[in-house]
């Protein structure tokens, strides 16, 4: 069952129309995933872990949790775990570079990561949608 009616694409093939419920599910799971990841990062940082270690450990801990929420709550599709990990690796690298850049401008790591949560989540969603769950049309 799709979230929206089916329309033909440019080549005439049937495809589901834009699915606003997909974005709602993403938003809800994203809040859950972001809270989990940010809490893990903050706890590790406050426990004395170096910024890079805290970021990598929080991202690593969140991958299995996030894969399950994305698979079950957002895309409702089997997905591919290795591609999911690859997307997260890319997002992690981009996050680390941005966090270092913000740090060089004097932004504390906890505040910098708070600023990066939404952009990182959006990059992750797009990567998952395109490369992991193949949900270009909003259907899983």
Please report the DSSP string for 18-61 in residue order: P-HHHHHHHHHHHHHHHHHHHHHHHHHHHTT--HHHHHHHHHHH
The answer to the question of residue 14 being in a domain is no
Q: Which of 24, 30, 38, 29 is nearest to 138 (CA)?
A: 24
Please give the share of the chain, as a percent, with pLDDT higher than 70: 82
The total number of structural domains in the chain stands at 1
The answer to the question of residue 9 being in a domain is no
Domain limits for position 76: 19-132
The answer to the question of residue 2 being in a domain is no
Q: What is the pLDDT of residue 49?
A: 96
Q: What is the pLDDT of residue 18?
A: 53
Token pair of 106, please?
């004097």
The answer to the question of residue 23 being in a domain is yes
Q: Which residues contact 47 (CB under 8 A, 6 or more apart)?
A: none
Q: What is the pLDDT of residue 128?
A: 86
The answer to the question of residue 60 being in a domain is yes
Instruction: Kindly report the average pLDDT of the chain as a whole number.
Output: 82
The answer to the question of residue 8 being in a domain is no
Region 97-114: mean pLDDT is: 96
Q: Which residues contact 17 (CB under 8 A, 6 or more apart)?
A: 4, 5, 6, 7, 137, 138
The answer to the question of residue 88 being in a domain is yes
Q: What is the pLDDT of residue 93?
A: 95
Token pair of 88, please?
């997260």
Region 86-94: mean pLDDT is: 92
User: Considering the entire predicted model, what is its pTM?
Assistant: 0.64
Alpha-carbon span 110 to 26, nearest angstrom? 24
pLDDT, one tens digit per residue, over 47-75 is: 999 999 999 999 888 888 889 888 888 88
The answer to the question of residue 77 being in a domain is yes
């Amino acid at each position: 069952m799709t979230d929206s009616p089916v329309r033909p694409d440019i080549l005439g093939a049937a495809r589901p129309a834009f699915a606003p419920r997909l974005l709602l599910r993403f938003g809800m799971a994203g809040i859950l995933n972001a809270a989990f990841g940010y809490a893990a990062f903050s706890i590790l940082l406050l426990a004395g872990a170096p910024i890079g270690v805290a970021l990598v450990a929080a991202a690593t801990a969140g991958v299995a949790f996030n894969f399950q929420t994305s698979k079950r709550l957002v895309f409702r599709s089997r997905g591919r775990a290795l591609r999911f990990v690859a997307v997260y690796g890319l997002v992690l690298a981009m996050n680390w570079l941005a966090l270092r850049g913000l740090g060089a401008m004097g932004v504390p790591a906890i505040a910098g990561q708070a600023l990066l949560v939404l952009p990182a989540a959006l990059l992750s969603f797009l990567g998952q949608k395109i490369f992991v769950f193949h949900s270009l049309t909003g259907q899983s």
